[in-house]
Amino acid sequence: MEQATGAAKMAQGTVKWFNSEKGFGFITQDGGPDVFVHFSAIESDGYRELRENQRVEFNVKDGDKGPQAENVVPVA
């Protein structure tokens, strides 16, 4: 996956939990608050889901109820 040119440095974190049936969960951000993640924010071809304890990179935006992840990509 490619990062957009000139994009701000992506945050990193670990998936705290993700409910694939409901399509959302939370990421524990390194050095920051937990971040809400919706399946539509996962950059993936095919089925979009995350595993508990999976390392990911993402951008953080201000959501209606607090920080929200976007452009989520797994870290190899």
| pLDDT greater than 70 at residue 63 | yes
State pTM to two decimals.
Answer: 0.84
* Domain around 56: 10-74
Number of domains in the chain: 1
Residue 5 lies in a domain: no
Span 1-49, pLDDT tens digits? 444 444 568 999 999 999 999 999 999 999 999 999 999 999 988 778 9
Q: Is position 2 within any domain? A: no
Whether 58 maps to a domain, the answer reads yes
For Cα atoms 53, 1, 21, give the angle at the middle one, nearest 5 degrees: 45
**68 pLDDT higher than 50:** yes
Q: What is the CATH number of the domain that holds 17?
A: 2.40.50.140
Q: Assess if residue 3 is contained within a domain.
A: no
Integer Cα distance of 56 and 46 in angstroms: 17
27 located within any domain: yes
Q: Please give the Cα distance from 63 to 23 (Å, whole number).
A: 16
**Predicted local confidence at residue 25, as pLDDT:** 98
